[in-house]
Structure 1
Amino acid sequence: MLDLRVLNYFLTVAREESITRAAEALHLSQPTLSRQLRDMEDMLGKELMIRGPRRITLTEDGLFLKKRAEEILSLASNTEQELRSDDTELNGHIHIGSAESDSVRFIMRTAHILQTQYPALHFDITSGDRPAMMELLDKGLIDMALIYGHVDTEKYEVLPCPATDHWGILLRRDNPLSQKETITPHDLWKEKLIVSNQVLQGDIHGDALQIWIQKPFADLHVSATYNLAYNASLMVSEGLGSCIMLEKIIRLLPEDPALCFRLFNPSLEDRLFIVWKRFQLFSKGTQAFIGLLKQEISKITSA
């Protein structure tokens, strides 16, 4: 059986790319560390690292173990924190995986309300696309995911955010389309476009956007793709194209006149969902946060 202590040794070596430096960081002798790693390789029947004269290189099996070891140690740490938490005071960590969206502001505002009441609570936010966040959620590495698109409600609890997001396009101000108040589908048919990888892969948004544009993406001039909106804004700024994205993901400052954002017409909307696994055993802090989210959403929707 894998030993958590030895997994930590392995990750340290992978990070340092050196047995010598890893041994110093772990306060172990080099022979002791080398023996521990050899014993783990013998137990698994796999070569995990190539020991070169200047640096350690992970094999394919080593890279796989590195990813799994990071997940295992993170889950072990989270579990220990939850078990050690004081029953009389909400504390510990609440782990959230999130897509890029202005609607995340509502979740952070609610987190601030809870943290003001319980200062010992700590919020860990991981950003990424939907597949990455759902993978972390399924492995128990995050408590909840903030995502777009529907999920299996037999497997997950789903709470819709109260805010609505709107689609549009990020443009350079020297683009003729910036003179328009809103953008129609026909405006994009000959435009150089920057589109998220998720949209092109058909994971989310893609069907709704193609229906709105009234053409398949294959018939449009897609000049670049992106995962992170900030990088997409740099692409637009440097002239690679105009970027289809959700409103307010990029904060446009008045003193920066280079870029502008125009909404689609007719309007195209989307909604962020808060998702967690059904029958999940949560820490008291996470339970309180979910309860407060429900209360805050109820206040907004009933107003």
Structure 2
Amino acid sequence: MEIRLLRYFIAVANEQNISAAADYLYISQPTLSRQLSDLEAELGTSLFIRGNRKITLTEEGTFLLAKAKEIVGLVDKTEANFNRPAEIVSGEIYIGGGETEAMHFIAKTLKDLREEHPAIQFHLYSGNADDVTDKLNSGLLDFGIIIEPTDKQKYDYMQLPAKDVWGVLMRKNSPLAHKSSIQPEDVKDKPLIISRQTTVDNELSGWFGQNITDLNIAGTYNLLYNAARMVEEGLGYALCIDKLINTSGNSQLCFKPLNPKLTAGLNIIWKKHQVFSNAANKFLDQIRYNIENYNS
């Protein structure tokens, strides 16, 4: 299967029209149609449902689209780190992470790195730990920022000098808003909005003393910003980490830490035996230096 054919396939899936995709690719419509037919023949399945004006993907086509984007993305990422002048330290670094105060430390590291090597570019991907490790495993990310614990059989890692504090995001007129901290019995019967990532479930189940899925779960979230909008509308209480949502001034929301206190350490991880680009190696050196010299 050629990378060129995957690019053609992605273009048609995005445009949902052969003519529009052919224009985008600067090739003729008959050539594109033939190439797509060859791809379907090679895979032994139909990838498209061809309508009069619109093309939609079959179930097999939807599966291929996700994989094709990963493959093409990995090829582009690899090529970008080779097509650079040899005398300049350059290249691209791909970093994934969730919403955490630790990103301030990552930002400082990138700033320090780019002051010395301004040709280096960085690309950030936002997602929870499950999303980040999926992309890390497939090679689309160089590094991931995740909550402890780390799978030490699968990843190398460094502990970041930051900890996240867990608590409850609620409306300021909530019956619990007067409390200085939140205990398990305060929210066991309340509608909860929780993170979807597996590691968080384990930590919070330990804090509650029971499986978190047995509680009154009103909804789940991937990243907190939109979940905060649900809290504003009174849909529930969001279990989350501190300092991600502005609760000052005219905000309708407030944050209360958990009691007993629950904190989460943070690691930067990468695949074992990873072969890094020059830019990624420089980043790793810089973050190691910044950790060693933190608060010194």
Shorter-chain TM-score tier: over 0.9
**2:281 aligned to 287, 290, 294, which one?**
287
Output one character per residue of 1:239-264: Cα deviation in whole Å (capped at 9) or x when no partner.
00111101112233x33231111111
Deviation at 1:33, TM superposition (A): 0.9
Is residue 226 from structure 1 mapped to residue 225 from structure 2 by the alignment?
no
Is residue 259 from structure 1 mapped to residue 253 from structure 2 by the alignment?
yes
Corresponding position of 1:37 = 36
Give secondary structure in 2 for the equivalent of 1:14: helix
Output one character per residue of 1:81-102: Cα deviation in whole Å (capped at 9) or x when no partner.
1112233222121001112211
1:121-200 → structure 2 map (5 Å cutoff): 121-198=120-197
Amino acid in the other structure paired with 1:194: I
Q: Indicate conservation of the 8 Å contact 2:150/2:267, yes or no.
A: no
Output one character per residue of 1:52-81: Cα deviation in whole Å (capped at 9) or x when no partner.
111111111211211111111111111111
Amino acid in the other structure paired with 2:36: L
Q: Distance in 2 between matches of 1:139 and 1:211?
A: 31
Q: Distance in 2 between matches of 1:55 and 1:123?
A: 37
- Distance verdict in 2 for CA 1:257–1:150, change over 3 Å: closer
Deviation at 1:150, TM superposition (A): 2.5
What stretches of structure 2 of length at least 5 have no aligned partner?
none
- Distance verdict in 2 for CA 1:219–1:44, change over 3 Å: closer
Deviation at 1:111, TM superposition (A): 0.8
Deviates more, 1:82-91 or 1:229-238: 82-91
Corresponding position of 2:263 = 269
- Distance verdict in 2 for CA 1:265–1:48, change over 3 Å: same
1:16-55 → structure 2 map (5 Å cutoff): 16-55=15-54
Q: Indicate conservation of the 8 Å contact 2:204/2:212, yes or no.
A: no
Q: Indicate conservation of the 8 Å contact 1:164/1:270, yes or no.
A: yes
- Distance verdict in 2 for CA 1:77–1:272, change over 3 Å: same
Q: Distance in 1 between matches of 2:191 and 2:42?
A: 55
- Distance verdict in 2 for CA 1:112–1:79, change over 3 Å: same
Q: Distance in 2 between matches of 1:257 and 1:23?
A: 49
Output one character per residue of 1:7-30: Cα deviation in whole Å (capped at 9) or x when no partner.
111111100000011111111111
- Distance verdict in 2 for CA 1:77–1:159, change over 3 Å: same
Deviation at 1:269, TM superposition (A): 0.7
Amino acid in the other structure paired with 2:143: M
- Distance verdict in 2 for CA 1:71–1:234, change over 3 Å: same
Q: Distance in 1 between matches of 2:213 and 2:161?
A: 34
Runs of 4 or more, structure 1, over 6 Å off, are none
Corresponding position of 1:112 = 111
Q: Distance in 2 between matches of 1:112 and 1:72?
A: 30
Deviation at 1:219, TM superposition (A): 4.8
Q: Distance in 2 between matches of 1:239 and 1:280?
A: 46
What stretches of structure 1 of length at least 5 have no aligned partner?
none
Length, aligned pairs only: 296
Corresponding position of 1:15 = 14
TM-score, structure 1 normalization: 0.92
Amino acid in the other structure paired with 2:13: A
CA RMSD of the aligned region, Å? 1.6
Deviation at 1:218, TM superposition (A): 4.8
Q: Indicate conservation of the 8 Å contact 1:188/1:213, yes or no.
A: no
Corresponding position of 1:60 = 59
Amino acid in the other structure paired with 2:204: L
Q: Distance in 1 between matches of 2:217 and 2:153?
A: 37
Is residue 205 from structure 1 mapped to residue 204 from structure 2 by the alignment?
no
Amino acid in the other structure paired with 1:32: T
Give secondary structure in 2 for the equivalent of 1:170: strand
Deviates more, 1:208-217 or 1:152-161: 208-217
Q: Distance in 2 between matches of 1:111 and 1:284?
A: 14
Amino acid in the other structure paired with 2:17: S
- Distance verdict in 2 for CA 1:208–1:37, change over 3 Å: closer
Q: Distance in 1 between matches of 2:293 and 2:74?
A: 34
Deviates more, 1:58-67 or 1:285-294: 58-67
Amino acid in the other structure paired with 2:72: L
